[in-house]
Amino acid sequence: MIYLDHSATTKPNADVMKAFVQANERYYANPASLHEMGVDVNHLLNRSREQVAGLIHTEPEHVVFTSGGSESNNFLIKGIARANTHRGKHILVSSIEHASVLETARALEKEGFHVDYIHVDKQGVIDLDDLKEKLMKDTVIVSIMHVNNEMGAIQPIEEIAKIVRERSRAFYHVDAVQSFGKLPIHFNDELGPDALSISGHKINGLKGTGIAALRKRTTIEPIIHGGGQEMGLRSGTVAVPQDVAIAKAARLAEQHRTVNVQRYTKWRNDIHAFLERMDDVYVLSSNNGAPHIVSCSIRGIKGEVIVNAMQRQGVIVSTSSACHSKDTQISHVVQAVGVPDEFARGVIRMSFGEGVTDGDIEQFKEAFSNVVKQVRGEIKTHEMA
């Protein structure tokens, strides 16, 4: 099978797995323990934290290890909002955020916060004028993802940061789950975000690993209380092998980013050109979007039908988001960007990662051509066997 679903999850890198296993075998003591073994484990944990901090240009004490992107989003948005109600109780998010951001905002509404949603254009890029209009004196946090997981739209995070800082005292959070390791993303005193979320399993790390990071010391309320681990922000015995693994994955992702982006960009542009020549195919992604994501739809055909047909051709793709793959409703992203009705239920996503080759891309194009012909009824199903 050719795997083109790397935005859903990736295969762990062999070196990441090796680091994880070695840490489990040798550094299994509790890093909070005062004995020698505990001290050694704590040193390893601190080195991992320092490595991540160096990659994103912050201090180690501003890096909190989590279980993944969803926890990081919940922790940062809820923690900052709840701890800073003296600044206000207004929250701004884009209309195409990941469910872990949208549902977090809705949960905070039940606590008395007010949430507004920023519009996007047909390319999935936020309307900066709408952002300016909806920013208020009491806006406490603005959360806008760097790269949309369904169609690959890239948000102008530096412009957003400038607007937020010039017009409010709000904190600016960026979900960087789909961008870290593919696009430059780090803290910058002038034009960077205040908080970042990163997921390990999107960068050839392990599931159940993540990073919540801050630009500077920020008042934030924990959502897990207990023994005061992770600088008092996330209690519970620290999973050091997992933290070692995500630090290793993050270093490798940044190390290989330039070369990978060149390959992904070539494939994305090639597939876009291929798709745009086809009748009855609607392309959502663009050459201005993320290098690793292609999104399209076939007129009148449901996404799961295309996914199953492609699988029979030996190619793994997904519906627009793995988080909604079992949901028969139209994705909120598809609705927000105004995909025509006849294409709205058929959106699929192809996403590149480690292990994909030029030959795989050619096989994808051949398989997709066959599927389009099949669903048009131009060839019979048994001819595809």
**Architecture per CATH, 14-255:** 3-Layer(aba) Sandwich (3.40)
C-alpha to C-alpha distance for 283 and 356, rounded to whole angstroms? 21
Please give the pLDDT value at position 56: 97
Does position 245 have pLDDT exceeding 60, yes or no?
Answer: yes
Domain locations in the chain as residue ranges: 2-8+257-372, 14-255
Please give the pLDDT value at position 141: 98
Residue 323 a catalytic site member: yes
C-alpha to C-alpha distance for 175 and 109, rounded to whole angstroms? 20
C-alpha to C-alpha distance for 140 and 237, rounded to whole angstroms? 31
Q: Looking at residues 38-56, what average pLDDT do you find?
A: 98
Please give the pLDDT value at position 262: 97
Please give the pLDDT value at position 253: 98
Does position 382 have pLDDT exceeding 60, yes or no?
Answer: no
Does position 231 have pLDDT exceeding 90, yes or no?
Answer: yes
Q: What is the CATH number of domain 2-8+257-372?
A: 3.90.1150.10
User: pLDDT tens across 248-297, in order?
Assistant: 999 999 999 999 999 999 999 999 999 999 989 999 999 999 999 999 99
Under the banding of pLDDT at 50, 70 and 90, the label for residue 325 is very low
Please give the pLDDT value at position 323: 53
Q: What is the dihedral of CA 179, 184, 187, 193, to 10 degrees?
A: -50
Active-site entry in 323, 344, 375, 384: 323
Please report, for residues 8, 132, 152, 163, the alpha-carbon distance to residue 192 in angstroms, rounded to integers and kept in the order given.
Answer: 26, 18, 20, 11
Does position 314 have pLDDT exceeding 80, yes or no?
Answer: yes
Under the banding of pLDDT at 50, 70 and 90, the label for residue 146 is very high
Please give the pLDDT value at position 378: 61
Share of the chain above pLDDT 90, in %: 92
User: Which residue, among 290, 81, 74, 73, has the nearest Cα to 198 in the 3D structure?
Assistant: 73
Under the banding of pLDDT at 50, 70 and 90, the label for residue 380 is low
Please give the pLDDT value at position 19: 98
Selected residue with higher pLDDT from 374 and 157: 157
Q: Looking at residues 66-87, what average pLDDT do you find?
A: 97
The one-letter amino acid at 50: E
- In this prediction the pTM is 0.93
User: Which residue, among 223, 241, 219, 193, has the nearest Cα to 72 in the 3D structure?
Assistant: 223
C-alpha to C-alpha distance for 237 and 235, rounded to whole angstroms? 7
C-alpha to C-alpha distance for 319 and 103, rounded to whole angstroms? 21
Q: Looking at residues 56-84, what average pLDDT do you find?
A: 98
Q: Looking at residues 94-111, what average pLDDT do you find?
A: 97
Q: What is the mean pLDDT of the chain?
A: 94
Q: Are 129 and 121 in contact (CB under 8 A)?
A: no
